[in-house]
Structure 1
Amino acid sequence: MAQTSLRAWRAVACGVLALLAALAAGHLVAALINVGASPYLAVGNAAIDLTPLPLKDFAVRTFGTHDKQVLLGGMAVVLLGAAALAGLASRRSPWPGTVVIALFGLVGVAAVATRPGLGAVAVLAPLASLVTGVLVFRGLRGKETVASRRSFLIVLAGSAVAGVAGQLLASTKDAGASRAAVGPLVPARRAPAIPADADFAKLGTPPFLTPNRDFYRVDTALTVPQVRTEDWSLRISGMVDRERAYRYQDIRGRPLVERTITMTCVSNEVGGPYVSTANFIGVDLADLLREAGVRPGAEQLFSTSVDGWTSGTPVADALDPTRGAMLAIGMNGEPLPLEHGFPARLVIPGLYGYVSATKWVTRLEVTTWQAKQAYWLQRGWGEQAPIKTQSRIDTPKGFETVPAGTLRVAGVAWAQHTGIDQVEVRLDNGPWQRAILSREITVDTWRMWWAELSVTPGAHQISCRAKDKRGYVQTAERAGTVPDGATGWHTISFVAK
């Protein structure tokens, strides 16, 4: 029998509907196993892992905390376009589209099979996508059948039902209710109260404590892991005398400590926004490690997140009693927000987040640097990652127009675990002028500053630099974020009228 030739719009509909059915089926099966096995998310995570470092840096720099939404949106456009083209290529024969859909399915299988922490059974989700996609496509565009509008509506409705059912099933594992049930976290040792002169928010600096909703978030998780307290555990293994395992109640039942800590992301460019401060509540990480008994020769604390992400921290820093490394379960007086690591995360002052701040942490392995390489070390970032002395101008904003005369300049500076000694500003290439500093809370927190400058009408530039308590003066030499943090003076341009 002669092959039936479809109209272009019908052919496109066949491809697109087969794609939607495949993704919905995969999501439904993943909801029963592990939502991370959803082919769409697994391929997105694989794309993140395989993206070259300069492109990742560009994405964070350009899209900020919206980089994941941009990735998922871009994937959707590419998939829909490819499905439409596969349908068009199959106007006379279903085989071109069948091959394309099968290839998409195999990519999903590979992405899930290689994703850490999912397990072998997780491949059932992308296999469900593959089978569903092929069957739906061939059913809509079979040898002897010209698909009807009714067929299209049935597939569309079925895909919607499967997708919604998958989402509802996934929501039953939602950690939000578990977080709400935690109740108040009362530290046995509270952080010092924050005095009114700890910030100059009225002059244009951020508030000293960053509200949870405004705290920066940079991580590789496409979706926020949903971990309930009743399901969470932390295992300590490797070069220890005794392997240890803790449940959430084991940690919460200990005397809790609260510390005020400023965290900084290594992706923060000079003048960038990825620095925030919070009161973290938890237990001393060094106590947990001592209970396990760290053996001589140990160099690295290799931490693993529930989604398989890994980080490597110098053991010496984790054990240093003066540093105050924490396994944190609370933030600014409440349980950790889901997107910031609930039920538990690491917080180690003075180190960039990629070596010190594993969220949704579930395993700590004491080892050596040679034995294991963490996620970002495999991608060219530095092994040791002390936060660099930096300062930033918050007001006026770059390219702002301000009145001529006396100009008030304000900003922040940080040198965690060392402390800020002074900040200087200068107008154009004039002399440096010392700024007024806010009260220091601890050496692990930022300090606010402000100064007054006299500006004449016209275009100007303002630069700032910080000096830490070791006597180091922030360098003017510009360096990018890779491999161990940006350097340079923050300089803004503005116009006075």
Structure 2
Amino acid sequence: MTATSSTLDGRWRAGLTGLLAAAAGIAVAELLASFGDPGSGPAVAVGGVLVDAAPTPVKEFAVRTFGTADKPVLLSGVAVGIAAVAVVVGLLAARRRWFGLAGAALFAVAGAAAAVSRPSAGLLAALPSLAGGVATALALSALNRRRASGTDPATAHPATAHPANAQTANAQTANAQTANAQTANAQSVSAQSTNAQSVSAQSTNAQTASAETPNAQSTNAQTPNAQSANAHPVSERPASESSASRQLGNAQPASDEPTSRGFRGRFAPAPGRGLRAPGTPDVARFDRRAFLQAAAAVSAVTVAAGAGAVVTRRVRGGAASRDRQAVRLPTPAEPAPPLPAGQDPAFVTANRDFYRVDTALTVPRVDLESWRLRVHGRVEHPLTFTFAELLQRPLIERHITLNCVSNEVGGPYIGTAKWLGVPLAPLLREAGIDPGADQVVARSVDGMSIGTPVRTVLDTADVMLCVGMNGEPLPLEHGFPVRMLTPGLYGYAGACKWLTELELTTFGAFDAYWVSRGWAARGPVKTASRIDRPSSFGHVRPGAVPVAGVAWAQGRGIDKVEVQIDDEPWRPADLLPVPSTDTWVQWRLTWTATPGPHTLRVRATDRTGAVQPEQRATPFPDGATGWHTVTVTVDD
């Protein structure tokens, strides 16, 4: 093995050391976090900080590009970043141990700071990352004990090419610790070392060295600046040399400083160093067995801690799921009216297909027994409700369409469900609203804040605290046990999930999460429409082709939908009946398709007479606008 290849192998081992240590630290931290708040784990906490700090264009790009997979992509990116830093720390720690300790400390501090910065976190949220930092440091220390004393034979260079000098170097390496040996002992060794003399006879230079120095040991004794104080003996030593080693075994390294057993000084080499020619690399021997043993131990800890974290989270998640399954929703005081005849089955979006857009990297698991809803702030009578107390209030059931402000023109982040919940307006009136309060700030268990105009809540009868969705308790991903829903507003302005707090305040006194990041303070839904069939860049046969989609303007309702084929005049589409103005409208028409490429576009007009604008606008800061357009090829 050459010195270059050995160096490369050493770098690979150092990088692997960093990766293994970081993995152990992450696993230990996630295990501790699984017993408390899963969001306090370093990966999730750092990911949350990145979500909060990311500029709006970056967030929009992530939602547009990755869709509902944006969270796994983000966490994967965090993992890659941690791995890259871990490799660098491993390389540095191979040179200086304190570099590794500094890297572990940085890991702990960064994770702890990210965890405690979350709105709902306390100081205890720092513990998982701190423990993970300690685990990382211990793993680095264990893995870096792979260096054994001596010089790696694969990479060390002989002191000289001459055999006599090589023999001298070997003899020096064999007994480098006998620097202060007595002359008489050295002579005795010389008499016994016939093999060394025969080797010396091969060179005049070597003979001279042998005459002046009966044994390599005396040379070393006369030269305080010996190169190898603790080198391991080489193989195939003659018996006389072994005898010399025994006779001189108690000698101490040369030194300029007396001690009780010899001299120890600044000229003595560092432990683990051997003789080497000037300009040759000093490479510590790699103990492969020790490294593999340490790596196996660290990997075992990592696997055990990681498995423990997964099991604990599943157990706790299972408890939340059991709480949800145990909920028996009361019969609503006002059931939803039946859907009009002729509705397409896709009018109601199944729970499993309902879009999810939020900042929660892990779904909160809420304990029903300890959950409370607080109503406070600028109210006369602060209120607190348990989940059971909410279910005892009169419930209403409504079909309502909910959409996300991040939805692009023609995008998928919209759905309709049958919601069951407590009307919010009567509840706030019971608390006694301060006349000066104009904003209701809803907060979730993970600290998300969403601001809704008080006037919208009081004037819209169907604003509710939802406990059910499509005939079952809220799914965990959609806000169990309680979420807020405000018809006519985008989700960021009126649909807080995992709700735990309602605060009456003013828009001037507080900016909710998205408002503080530049989004509009009030988020009314804009009139929009979408073509669902045929799909863009699809192929159809000539003749009668069904064209269909949806249009929405919650709170106002849709008056008409028009479709344009190429540059032909706009054609009115047929509208299917709807239960209320708070849902989308399904529309359809039949197109007689002719061979070739065609462009289809759609526009809607709401019941106030406002026509969906043609000009394209991005979702930021208050929702996208523009006509949805698809290109279709009619095959001949």
TM-score (norm 1): 0.95
- 1:137 corresponds in structure 2 to 140
In the alignment, the residues of structure 2 paired with residue 184 and residue 329 of structure 1 have an alpha-carbon distance, to the nearest angstrom, of: 8
Cα contact 2:604–2:611 (8 A) shared by 1: yes
Q: Which moved more, 1:93-102 or 1:343-352?
A: 93-102
Cα contact 2:339–2:578 (8 A) shared by 1: no
Choose the corresponding residue for 1:491, options 620, 629, 634: 629
Alpha-carbon offset, residue 143 of structure 1:
8.6
Residue 319 (str. 1) matches residue 458 (str. 2): yes
Q: Report the secondary structure of 1:418's partner residue.
A: coil
Cα deviation, 1:268-322, whole Å, max 9, x if unaligned, reads 11100011000111110112111111110111101111001111110111122x4
- 1:446 corresponds in structure 2 to 584
- 1:277 corresponds in structure 2 to 416
In the alignment, the residues of structure 2 paired with residue 107 and residue 123 of structure 1 have an alpha-carbon distance, to the nearest angstrom, of: 10
In the alignment, the residues of structure 1 paired with residue 146 and residue 72 of structure 2 have an alpha-carbon distance, to the nearest angstrom, of: 39
In the alignment, the residues of structure 1 paired with residue 17 and residue 98 of structure 2 have an alpha-carbon distance, to the nearest angstrom, of: 13
- 1:192 corresponds in structure 2 to 337
Choose the corresponding residue for 2:618, options 480, 486, 489: 480
Residue 161 (str. 1) matches residue 300 (str. 2): no
Q: Which stretches in structure 1 are left out of the alignment for 5+ residues?
A: 202-206
Q: Which stretches in structure 2 are left out of the alignment for 5+ residues?
A: 1-5, 149-286
Equivalent AA in structure 2 for residue 297 of structure 1: G
- 2:379 corresponds in structure 1 to 240
The alignment of Structure 1 onto Structure 2 pairs a total of residues equal to 487
Cα contact 1:236–1:243 (8 A) shared by 2: yes
TM-score (norm 2): 0.74
Equivalent AA in structure 2 for residue 386 of structure 1: P
Cα contact 2:565–2:600 (8 A) shared by 1: yes
Q: Which moved more, 1:173-182 or 1:435-444?
A: 173-182
Alpha-carbon offset, residue 118 of structure 1:
1.4
Alpha-carbon offset, residue 172 of structure 1:
3.9
Residue 50 (str. 1) matches residue 193 (str. 2): no
Cα deviation, 1:403-436, whole Å, max 9, x if unaligned, reads 1233221000000010011100010121000000
Choose the corresponding residue for 1:213, options 339, 352, 366: 352
In the alignment, the residues of structure 1 paired with residue 633 and residue 313 of structure 2 have an alpha-carbon distance, to the nearest angstrom, of: 53
Alpha-carbon offset, residue 473 of structure 1:
0.8
Task: State the 4+ residue runs in structure 1 displaced beyond 4 angstroms.
Answer: 142-147
- 2:528 corresponds in structure 1 to 390
- 2:473 corresponds in structure 1 to 335
Cα deviation, 1:81-104, whole Å, max 9, x if unaligned, reads 221232233333333333233222
In the alignment, the residues of structure 2 paired with residue 355 and residue 142 of structure 1 have an alpha-carbon distance, to the nearest angstrom, of: 56
Residue 83 (str. 1) matches residue 221 (str. 2): no
Choose the corresponding residue for 2:367, options 219, 222, 228: 228
Alpha-carbon offset, residue 231 of structure 1:
2.0
Identity %: 48
Q: Report the secondary structure of 2:407's partner residue.
A: coil
Q: Report the secondary structure of 2:316's partner residue.
A: coil
Alpha-carbon offset, residue 116 of structure 1:
1.2
Alpha-carbon offset, residue 358 of structure 1:
0.3
In the alignment, the residues of structure 2 paired with residue 253 and residue 157 of structure 1 have an alpha-carbon distance, to the nearest angstrom, of: 51
In the alignment, the residues of structure 2 paired with residue 460 and residue 172 of structure 1 have an alpha-carbon distance, to the nearest angstrom, of: 54
Residue 74 (str. 1) matches residue 70 (str. 2): no
In the alignment, the residues of structure 1 paired with residue 31 and residue 593 of structure 2 have an alpha-carbon distance, to the nearest angstrom, of: 63
In the alignment, the residues of structure 1 paired with residue 334 and residue 521 of structure 2 have an alpha-carbon distance, to the nearest angstrom, of: 32
Alpha-carbon offset, residue 184 of structure 1:
4.1
Residue 423 (str. 1) matches residue 561 (str. 2): yes
Residue 354 (str. 1) matches residue 499 (str. 2): no
In the alignment, the residues of structure 2 paired with residue 151 and residue 139 of structure 1 have an alpha-carbon distance, to the nearest angstrom, of: 6
Q: Report the secondary structure of 2:592's partner residue.
A: strand
Alpha-carbon offset, residue 232 of structure 1:
1.2
Q: Report the secondary structure of 2:545's partner residue.
A: strand
In the alignment, the residues of structure 1 paired with residue 531 and residue 330 of structure 2 have an alpha-carbon distance, to the nearest angstrom, of: 35
In the alignment, the residues of structure 1 paired with residue 337 and residue 522 of structure 2 have an alpha-carbon distance, to the nearest angstrom, of: 30
Equivalent AA in structure 2 for residue 115 of structure 1: R
In the alignment, the residues of structure 2 paired with residue 272 and residue 375 of structure 1 have an alpha-carbon distance, to the nearest angstrom, of: 23
- 1:293 corresponds in structure 2 to 432
| Higher RCO (Cα < 8 Å, 6 or more apart) | 1
In the alignment, the residues of structure 2 paired with residue 82 and residue 296 of structure 1 have an alpha-carbon distance, to the nearest angstrom, of: 54
Cα deviation, 1:17-63, whole Å, max 9, x if unaligned, reads 11111111111222233221111110111110011100000000000
In the alignment, the residues of structure 1 paired with residue 18 and residue 331 of structure 2 have an alpha-carbon distance, to the nearest angstrom, of: 56
Cα contact 1:86–1:97 (8 A) shared by 2: yes
Equivalent AA in structure 1 for residue 25 of structure 2: A
- 1:204 corresponds in structure 2 to none
In the alignment, the residues of structure 2 paired with residue 107 and residue 162 of structure 1 have an alpha-carbon distance, to the nearest angstrom, of: 21
Q: Which moved more, 1:388-397 or 1:83-92?
A: 83-92
In the alignment, the residues of structure 2 paired with residue 481 and residue 365 of structure 1 have an alpha-carbon distance, to the nearest angstrom, of: 28
- The answer to which structure has the higher helix fraction is 2
Choose the corresponding residue for 1:255, options 381, 394, 398: 394
Alpha-carbon offset, residue 73 of structure 1:
1.1
Q: What value does the CA root-mean-square deviation take over the aligned residues?
A: 1.6
Cα deviation, 1:244-270, whole Å, max 9, x if unaligned, reads 000000011222211110001000111
Choose the corresponding residue for 1:306, options 445, 451, 455: 445
